[in-house]
Amino acid sequence: MATVVDASVSVAVAPSGAPESFVWDRFEYRVVGQPIALFTRTAWWTGAASPARIDQETWRVDAIRDEEEPTRYDLRRDAEGGWTLAVAWT
């Protein structure tokens, strides 16, 4: 089941640009396994202004906090480089 979170998070990235860890609600989550990059095209033609990017970058990661079982998350990066924890898959 997916839970929409939409919370700003700070993300540490590898040189490749893939997330390695993120901090959410004061807790650090470490990415385990291989992150998957997902790109979706936005409907740029429907807005009044041209967007900075037409593709939405999302990373689907499995991450753990402390010694808990891994949980799947979707991390979204915006055009300015900020990150949002979009979805927690439970």
pLDDT digits 0-9 by tens, 31-41: 999 999 998 87
* pLDDT 10s digits, 4-59: 999 999 999 999 999 999 999 999 999 999 999 998 877 767 776 666 666 789 99
User: Domain range holding 49?
Assistant: 2-89
How much helix, strand and coil, in percent to the nearest 5, is found in the chain?
A: 5, 65, 35
The pTM score is 0.85
pLDDT (0 to 100) of residue 38: 92
**Residue 70, CA atoms < 13 Å, CB-side half-sphere:** 13
> Using CA atoms, how far apart are residues 84 and 11, in angstroms rounded to an integer?
9
pLDDT (0 to 100) of residue 65: 95
pLDDT (0 to 100) of residue 45: 74
Domain count, the chain: 1
